[in-house]
Amino acid sequence: MAENTARAASPLGMRSEIAIKWPKFSQEEVRDLKSTDDLVSQVQSKYELDKAQAQKDVDAFANGRQL
pTM higher than 0.85 for the full model?
A: no
Residue 22 has pLDDT above 90, yes or no: yes
What is d(CA 10, CA 4) in angstroms, rounded to the nearest whole number? 10
Residue 8 has pLDDT above 80, yes or no: no
What is d(CA 39, CA 30) in angstroms, rounded to the nearest whole number? 9
Instruction: Supply the CATH number for residue 45's domain.
Output: 1.10.1470
Determine, yes or no, domain membership for 13: yes
Residue 9 has pLDDT above 70, yes or no: no
For the chain, what is the domain count? 1
Determine, yes or no, domain membership for 18: yes
Tally Cβ neighbours within 10 Å of residue 14.
20
Determine, yes or no, domain membership for 53: yes
Determine, yes or no, domain membership for 42: yes
Determine, yes or no, domain membership for 67: no
Domain extent for 56: 2-62
pLDDT at residue 4 in the model:
40
Residue 49 has pLDDT above 50, yes or no: yes
